[in-house]
Amino acid sequence: MTAPVLYIGNKNYSSWSFRPWIGMRTAGIAFEEKLVPFDMAGGNPAFRAFSPTGKVPVLVDGDVTIWESLAILDHVARKHPEAGLWPANPADRSRAMAMSSEMISSFPALRSACPMNMRRERKPVETSPAILADVARIQQLWSGCLESSGGPFLFGGFSIADAMFAPVVNRLDVYAFETGTAVSDYMARMKALPAWREWEAAGRAEPWTVDEDEA
Q: What is the pLDDT of residue 70?
A: 98
Binned average pLDDT, 10 residues per bin, the chain of 215 residues: 94 98 98 90 83 96 97 98 97 98 98 97 97 98 98 98 98 98 98 98 95 90
CA angle 165, 167, 171 (to 5 degrees): 110
Nearest-angstrom CA–CA distance, 57 and 72: 9
Residues 214, 120: Cα–Cα separation, whole Å: 8
- Contact residues for 151 (Cβ-Cβ < 8 A; gap 6+): 186, 189
Instruction: Say what the pLDDT of residue 41 is.
Output: 63
**Is residue 194 reached through a cis peptide bond, with omega within 30 degrees of 0 on the bond before it?**
no
Tell me the DSSP string of 176-211: T----HHHHHHHHHHHHSHHHHHHHHHHHH-----G
CA nearest neighbour of 8 among 22, 21, 24, 27: 21
Q: How many CA atoms lie within 13 A of 81 on its CB side?
A: 3
Residues in the chain: 215
Q: How far apart are CA 107 and CA 105, in angstroms?
A: 7
What is residue 109's predicted lDDT score, i.e. its pLDDT?
A: 98
What does the pLDDT read at residue 44? Answer: 86
pLDDT reported for residue 39: 65
